[in-house]
Amino acid sequence: MRGASRSKNTQILDKRVCMTNCPTLIVTVGLPARGKTYISKKLTRYLNWIDVPTKEFNVGQYRRECVKIYKSFEFFRPDNEEGLKIRKQCALAALNDVRQFLTDEGGQVAVFDATNTTRERRETIMRFAEQNGFKVFFVESVCEDPDVIAENIVQVKLGSPDYTHCNTEEAVADFMKRIKCYENSYQPLDEELDRDLSFIKIIDVGRRYLVNRVQDHIQSRIVYYLMNIHITPRSIYLCRHGESDLNVKGRIGGDSGLSARGKQFADALGQFIQSQNISDLKVWTSQMKRTIQTAEAVGVPYEQWKALNEIDAGVCEELMYEEIQLKFPLEFALRDQDKYRYRYPKGESYEDLVQRLEPVIMELERQENVLVICHQAVMRCLLAYFLDKTAEELPYLKCPLHTVLKLTPVAYGCKVESVCLKVEAVNTHRDRPKNVDVSRQAEEALLTVPDHQ
């Protein structure tokens, strides 16, 4: 569980709670263009966001390191001995790096992203895992829908370093032949033969799942996550509430209503949403007045989530930064030292926020088009998830008022379009000041505080 206490008040040692006792090796299985890398990257991003140190190891990368120039599908022919030798070496090199990551670098989950289509290869991996005390969980993707496969190839293969010198037709033709090379020796995970292994078989991009022998909490979370993601094209719109009365005064937290400019923004937002012609849009707000008032102006039904409420600033609620510096200079400095983990006395930390927001993320994954009207810290956490930002970057992501971010999943990541709705607002972004030492002067602490009334 995330959230090992780092409170200065208790004498308890910093116990980072481990989700698993031993590290886990996730092994993807499947023919080319079945979404293995998509799943690997998404899963890695999710696990890191919930604070489980995870890394993916893509054997294709290792192969590209080794064989500088890709010529054609011939490399993958099952009778190409030279090719087979190189590919096996690359797999072993990758496994070596896995061992280093899980044993020496504090990693908890490693995702071994390769076809792993033969039982022999999978047995090699399992022996390796056993030797090193890792648990193994297989994620197999099985898909025969030619449209899905074609779309996959267009989205991610054409842009691959392997095909920079080809035109589209050549690339597609070569790739299809590459897939053929694997087909004959493909041994899918079998309910009977593999009944003692832990795995999830994803069939036809999530239409059906077969789940076998889930061993522990992290595997059950992984299964739950994989069962909630989809690849249907859609967009997620993130924005903050309109400028609030407390924003104008430079105060944090609280539950104030919109300022006049905030109301203008709400109207502009309504118009913007209309103009986008989004089918079946869901609108979510927090349970605080300022987001609700903003949503009201959009004029469509909305759902309120308590989990979307702004970070609780505890004893600092409704204070200005200047007042925090005056009343709690030590706290103020500590926060600047480690903004992600710092917890306001009687309040929350960004780390707490992430845990609180996890069900929202899960539901966002399930949904299609959604507009989330939330708050600065909350929006930073959500953005960090979609754009794979680290805990260090997260608390300093720029989320200005009156700007809508449109996120569209594309290839292995997320396209971001920033739309500023041209209604003026105060700036609420406070950069990290140079001096974060507890002995600093007030001016140094307040150097980066944005202007306000």
Catalytic residue ranges: 113, 143, 241, 310
Q: Any contact of residue 5 with other proteins (CB under 8 A)?
A: yes
Looking at 100, 168, 185, 287, which residue binds other proteins (CB under 8 A)? 287
CB 171 within 8 A of CB 157: yes
Q: Which two tokens stand for residue 181?
A: 């090379």
**Which segments of 108-228 does DSSP mark as H helices, in order?**
119-132, 146-152, 168-183, 217-226
Nearest to 397 by CA among 409, 412, 382, 410: 382
CB of 398 to other proteins, least distance (A): 28
Nearest to 289 by CA among 245, 247, 256, 248: 256
Specify the residue, 255 or 338, whose C-beta has the smaller distance to other proteins.
255
Give me the sign of the Cα torsion angle 278, 284, 290, 296.
positive
Going residue by residue from 294 to 333, which x/- string records binding to other proteins, judged by CB under 8 A? --x----xxxxxx---------------------------
The count of C-alpha atoms lying within 13 angstroms of the C-alpha of 297, restricted to the half-sphere facing its C-beta, is 21
CB of 89 to other proteins, least distance (A): 35
Looking at 61, 132, 228, 369, which residue binds other proteins (CB under 8 A)? 228
Rounded-to-integer distance, Cα 225 and Cα 86, Å? 34
Q: Any contact of residue 292 with other proteins (CB under 8 A)?
A: yes
Looking at 22, 67, 227, 231, which residue binds other proteins (CB under 8 A)? 227
CB of 224 to other proteins, least distance (A): 5
3-state per-residue secondary structure call for 204-236? CCCCEEEEECCCCHHHHHHHHHHCCCCCCCCCE
Q: Any contact of residue 352 with other proteins (CB under 8 A)?
A: yes
Contact region for other proteins (CB under 8 A) — 8-16, 63-71, 146-154, 165-173?
Answer: 8-16
Q: Any contact of residue 7 with other proteins (CB under 8 A)?
A: yes
Specify the residue, 88 or 213, whose C-beta has the smaller distance to other proteins.
213
Specify the residue, 363 or 393, whose C-beta has the smaller distance to other proteins.
363
CB of 219 to other proteins, least distance (A): 10
CB of 62 to other proteins, least distance (A): 33
Partners of residue 240 on adjacent β-strands: 374
Rounded-to-integer distance, Cα 363 and Cα 222, Å? 15
Residues near other proteins (CB under 8 A), total: 43
Rounded-to-integer distance, Cα 149 and Cα 56, Å? 23
Which residue type, as a one-letter code, is found at position 348?
A: E
Rounded-to-integer distance, Cα 137 and Cα 188, Å? 15
CB of 391 to other proteins, least distance (A): 17
Per DSSP, the chain holds a count of helices (H) and strands (E) of 15, 12
Q: Any contact of residue 385 with other proteins (CB under 8 A)?
A: no
Q: Any contact of residue 3 with other proteins (CB under 8 A)?
A: yes
What is the three-class DSSP state of 147? helix
Q: Any contact of residue 274 with other proteins (CB under 8 A)?
A: no
Rounded-to-integer distance, Cα 59 and Cα 143, Å? 21
Specify the residue, 106 or 299, whose C-beta has the smaller distance to other proteins.
299
Nearest to 47 by CA among 136, 105, 110: 110
Q: Any contact of residue 84 with other proteins (CB under 8 A)?
A: no
CB of 17 to other proteins, least distance (A): 5
Rounded-to-integer distance, Cα 355 and Cα 21, Å? 20
Specify the residue, 230 or 249, whose C-beta has the smaller distance to other proteins.
230
CB of 442 to other proteins, least distance (A): 29
Specify the residue, 265 or 302, whose C-beta has the smaller distance to other proteins.
302
Q: Which two tokens stand for residue 394?
A: 């997260």
CB of 254 to other proteins, least distance (A): 10
Strands 413-420 and 403-410, by their bridges, are antiparallel
Specify the residue, 5 or 155, whose C-beta has the smaller distance to other proteins.
5
Specify the residue, 253 or 409, whose C-beta has the smaller distance to other proteins.
253
Looking at 322, 338, 363, 388, which residue binds other proteins (CB under 8 A)? 363
CB 418 within 8 A of CB 403: yes
Q: Any contact of residue 340 with other proteins (CB under 8 A)?
A: no
Specify the residue, 12 or 420, whose C-beta has the smaller distance to other proteins.
12
Q: Any contact of residue 223 with other proteins (CB under 8 A)?
A: yes
Alpha-carbon distances of 115 from 35, 38, 81, rounded to whole Å: 11, 13, 18
**Helices 350-366, 36-49: crossing angle, 10 deg rounding:** 150
Going residue by residue from 190 to 219, which x/- string records binding to other proteins, judged by CB under 8 A? -x---x-----------xxxxxxxx--x--
Contact footprint for other proteins (CB under 8 A):
1, 3-5, 7, 9-10, 12, 15, 17, 191, 195, 207-214, 217, 220, 223-224, 227-228, 257, 287, 289, 292-293, 296, 301-306, 346, 352, 355, 363, 366
